[in-house]
Amino acid sequence: MHDIKTIRENPAAFDAALSRLGADAMSSEILAIDEARRAKILAAETAQAEQNKASKEVGAAKGRGDEEEFQRLRGLVADKKAEVARLNDEAKAEDARLTDLLMRLPNLPYDDTPEGADENDNVEIRRWGTPRELAFKPKEHYDLPAVQDGMDFETAAKLSGSRFVVLSGAVARLHRALAQFMLDTHTEEHGLTEAITPVLVREEMMYGTGQLPKFGEDSYKTTDGWWLIPTAEVTLTNIVNGATIDESYLPRRYTAHTQCFRSEAGSAGRDTAGMLRQHQFEKVEMVSVTHPDNSEEEHARMTRCAEAILEKLELPYRTVVLCTGDMGFGARRTHDIEVWLPGQDTYREISSISTCGDFQARRMNARFKPAAGGKPEFVHTLNGSGLAVGRCLIAVLENGQQEDGSVTLPAALHPWLGGKTRITAEGKMA
């Protein structure tokens, strides 16, 4: 959420930043509501002071036997009490209007975030690995002979509908091994703390990380009010919701492997084949909670953590900075990592690493106490995939495919597969 004081101090800069996102200027509307809210608060304080003054005078009038003045002052006290209550209610209504409006506005991009309309304006910053030159026409993951028996969309559709899959046998084992490999790498080599978190959360947690109120249709809500998480960003970030922590507590770096749920609203017709876009999927998420002075360095560090997974798996990738038109609601800057998929002959997103500044912290009221003393300050939060397990499975299968229909598996995974090195064309681990 945005700081109303900052908008008051420089409304033109606020509107200019919104315009980079393709959004309309909002400072006039925001400040009009803010002014009305503050006017109601001032009027309530004035009426309260008049009520207090009259209350003191009531006793004096009673003491000197001035019945007429006593009754007048009693009436004035009652009137002022009603006026204070009305003005406070009106101030609360204006405050709710202001909060709702600010909650619906996206985070503002950093000055160095490239400006653009869509993904075509993203800026590549590096590339790693060289795609294999294949002597045969590569297949997409769901057409590989090695996975035909282990990736069942028909049964999943019977069970749950479209955009679900049942994995079994060697494919299921590979999927599990990938998640374990990612968690072990992040905890043992990258210094992240593993967490196991709920996948059902209260509504206020979805507000805290920015999924609500604007993007409720993208997630699933249960009949008793809980929400299914779209990613463990929600649970891991909200660990500090409402907390004021010591500066020595920072940075906190978490990772979690969870089921994730997305309705994919508005994505009809996009990536319907295979596992690329599912309603239920798994991710290994990374979240950092940092001191504001260190969030830039942390963004680079988190990006390297995700890239390192792909390098260990020998999967070619490229890293891009998202332009303002392609960036998510809560981000100030985002690095997308795109893995090479030979079946599609292109790079596809496998991780987004975003730095949010104090945007989420303000929504959560998450602060830290400076070691040197002074008022508590808002923390900075960052999040990113480390990685999307299903998409990584796709990449491993497609990049390891052989002409005979088998799949050669990355050497880094062998210890998590009991020494197995490939999936045969018949779908067996070997």
All domains in the chain, ordered by first residue = 4-103 (1.10.287.40), 119-423 (3.30.930.10)
**Residue 294 structure tokens:** 């260190």
Q: How many CB atoms lie within 10 A of CB 37?
A: 21
Could you give the CA distance from residue 157 to residue 76 in angstroms, rounded to a whole number? 71
**For residue 395, which of 153, 130, 168, 140 has the smallest C-alpha distance?**
140
**Active-site residue 277, yes or no?**
yes
370-379 mean pLDDT: 96
Which amino acid does the sequence have at 233?
E
Q: How far is residue 138's CA from residue 93's CA, in Å, rounded to a whole number?
A: 60
Catalytic residue among 247, 314, 349, 377: 349
Give pLDDT, residue 267.
63
Q: CB within 8 A of 314, min separation 6: which ones?
A: 129, 399, 410, 411, 412
Active site residue 301: no
219 known ligand binder: no
Q: Is 45 annotated as a binding residue?
A: no
Taking the C-alpha atoms of residue 140 and residue 398, their distance in angstroms, rounded to an integer, is 6
User: Has 28 been labeled as part of a binding site?
Assistant: no
Residue 55 assigned to a binding site: no
**Candidate list 38, 127, 277, 318, residue with the active-site label:** 277
pLDDT score, position 68? 80
- Which of 20, 37, 173, 262 is labelled catalytic? 262
Tell me the mean pLDDT in the region 226-242: 98
Question: Where does the pLDDT of residue 365 fall: very low under 50, low under 70, confident under 90, or very high at 90 and above?
Answer: very high
CB distance 215 to 207 below 8 Å: no
Q: Catalytic: which of 27, 219, 288, 352?
A: 352
Comparing CA positions, the residue from 157, 378, 377 lying closest to residue 273 is: 157
Per-residue pLDDT, 32: 97
| Residue 248, marked binder | no
Residue 352 falls in the annotated catalytic set: yes
Cα-based torsion angle of the residue sequence 41, 45, 50, 55 in order, rounded to the nearest 10 degrees: 120
Q: Are strands 317-321 and 280-290 parallel, antiparallel or unpaired?
A: unpaired
pLDDT at 224: 95
| pLDDT band, very low/low/confident/very high, at 54 (cuts 50, 70, 90) | confident
Q: Binding site annotation covers 298?
A: no
Q: Would the annotation count 262 as a binding residue?
A: yes
Catalytic residue among 301, 363, 367, 391: 391
CA 208, distance to chain mean position in Å, is 9
How much is the average pLDDT of 193-208?
Answer: 98
With contact defined as beta carbons under 8 Å apart, do 297 and 318 qualify? no
Which residues is 255 bridged to in the sheet? 194, 286
CB 44 within 8 A of CB 91: yes
Q: Is 50 annotated as a binding residue?
A: no
Our answer to whether residue 391 is catalytic in this structure is yes
